């Protein structure tokens, strides 16, 4: 894949949520394969630092676009800012939630913001940037989702629902675009070592236990398997397999998911850390 990323998909890639964690790891991996990258996130100083590091290491072109992807008009602004580029790979990695609490213990605006960032913006990104790929008959999209998508669970109502939306969207687009030269991958993350995860651990008074995936490994694995969609379960021994809940009926799957959250103090690692809630985005 290192030799064929740009020739197969195009010269530029966009990473939404590209300032640190899994997003920054994707940007580094894409740049190491010769792809120019656009980094998108809210914090411009962090974006610029990441961009400088990528330029120094890999000698590619890097643009930064400071946007809140949860705000109306953000994807239209991103499309305008990149209208002169042939975008061959789009990674949507924004949309984490590092606070698992009961549904009614979060205010309504927080829930609605999550839905906009994880559903509305993802769909708009796929439409705005996937359309030109289909027209050119080459390109790839990665929608980063979470094992919280496998089943409902206590304290995961809005987050799990949005990640299920992303998973089904990725799988559906893969089915529609697979004969158009466009690869789509729904990347299912488990517990991953990111700044967001560390902050969540600190906020809950717990020392980080070191039992998480390395963001670099997650990104490299996905980049190596872009054409093997629709779904890739990061770190799994059967990454193209189905739900780790297997043959459990829906009620038992929901109860198992809820026990996982409760046992881990509000953060999912889950069965073999494959249906865990990601706070890495």
pLDDT in tens, 236-277: 889 998 888 888 999 999 999 888 777 665 544 333 233 333
Among the residue ranges 18-22, 80-84, 122-126, the one predicted with the least confidence is 18-22
Whether 9 is a known active-site residue: answer: no
- CB distance 33 to 2 below 8 Å: yes
- CB distance 39 to 67 below 8 Å: no
* DSSP single-letter state for residue 271: G
Q: Which residues have CB under 8 Å from 238's CB, separation 6+?
A: none
How far, in Å, CA of 128 to CA of 122, rounded? 10
pTM higher than 0.75 for the full model? yes
Q: What is the DSSP string of 147-210?
A: GGGSS--TT-HHHHHHHHHHHHHHHHHHHHHTTTTEEEEEEEE-SB--HHHHHHHHHTT----S
Q: What is the pLDDT of residues 112-171, one digit of tens each?
A: 999 999 999 999 999 999 999 999 999 999 999 999 999 999 999 999 999 999 999 999
Using CA atoms, how far residue 226 sits from 5, 187, 230, in Å, is 9, 10, 9
| Catalytic residue (choose from 92, 127, 159, 208) | 159
CATH architecture of 5-273: 3-Layer(aba) Sandwich (3.40)
């Amino acid at each position: 894949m290192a030799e064929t990323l740009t020739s197969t998909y195009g010269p530029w890639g966009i990473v939404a949520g590209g300032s640190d964690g899994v997003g920054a790891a994707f940007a580094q991996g894409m740049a190491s394969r010769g792809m120019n990258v656009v980094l998108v996130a809210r914090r411009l100083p962090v974006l610029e630092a990441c961009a400088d590091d990528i330029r120094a290491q890999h000698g590619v072109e890097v643009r930064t676009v400071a946007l809140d992807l949860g705000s109306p008009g953000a994807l239209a602004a991103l499309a305008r800012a990149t209208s002169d580029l042939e975008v061959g790979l789009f990674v949507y990695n924004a949309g984490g939630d590092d606070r698992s609490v009961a549904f009614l213990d979060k205010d309504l605006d927080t829930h609605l913001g999550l839905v906009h960032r994880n559903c509305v913006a993802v769909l708009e990104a796929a439409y705005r940037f996937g359309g030109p790929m289909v027209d050119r008959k080459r390109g790839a999209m990665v929608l980063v989702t979470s094992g919280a998508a496998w089943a409902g669970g206590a304290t995961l109502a809005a987050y799990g629902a949005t990640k299920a939306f992303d998973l089904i969207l990725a799988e559906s687009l893969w089915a529609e675009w697979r004969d158009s030269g466009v690869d789509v991958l729904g990347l299912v993350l488990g517990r991953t070592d990111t700044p967001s995860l560390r902050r969540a651990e600190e906020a809950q008074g717990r020392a980080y236990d070191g039992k998480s995936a390395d963001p670099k490994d997650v990104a490299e694995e996905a980049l190596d398997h872009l054409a093997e969609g629709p779904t890739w379960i990061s770190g799994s021994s059967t990454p193209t397999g189905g739900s780790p809940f297997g043959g459990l009926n829906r009620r038992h799957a929901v109860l198992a998911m809820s026990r996982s959250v409760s046992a881990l103090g509000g953060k999912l690692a889950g069965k073999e850390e494959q249906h865990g809630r990601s706070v890495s985005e």
